[in-house]
């Protein structure tokens, strides 16, 4: 739905509820980042990574872990690759 509002060169991916937070959706490196978090935070973290990978796939970026950036607080926003 949001894609209808954005320019053609912009990629958007939406997730509603827990649809993106599925078991096995994280790479081991991502699982290590969130291993000690509460369940609600794990679902949020997973949903963001699943949506990010879906968007990157639409842009032709190969699947890869989406880890927090070095300037981000622990468990914070993704650090994007240069790809």
Residue 23: per-residue pLDDT: 58
With beta carbons less than 8 A apart as the criterion, state whether 79 and 68 touch: yes
Residue 25: per-residue pLDDT: 85
Which residues are 78's β-sheet partners? 68
Residue 26: per-residue pLDDT: 93
Residue 29: per-residue pLDDT: 94
Q: Residue 31: enclosing H or E segment and its boundaries?
A: helix 28-34
- Which residues have C-beta within 8 Å of that of residue 64, sequence separation ≥ 6? 27, 53, 56, 81, 83
Instruction: Give the residue ranges of the annotated binding site.
Output: 41, 49
Instruction: Give the residue ranges of the annotated binding site for CoA.
Output: 41, 49
Q: pLDDT tens, 21-78?
A: 665 689 999 999 999 999 999 988 898 888 889 899 998 999 899 998 755 555 566 6
């Amino acid at each position: 739905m949001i894609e209808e509002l954005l320019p053609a060169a912009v990629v958007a991916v939406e997730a509603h509820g827990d649809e993106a937070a599925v078991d096995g959706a994280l790479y081991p490196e991502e699982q290590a980042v969130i291993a000690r978090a509460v369940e609600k935070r794990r679902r949020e973290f997973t949903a963001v990574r699943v949506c990010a990978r879906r968007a990157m796939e639409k842009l032709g970026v190969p699947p890869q872990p989406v880890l927090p950036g070095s300037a981000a607080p622990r468990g914070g926003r993704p650090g994007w690759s240069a790809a």
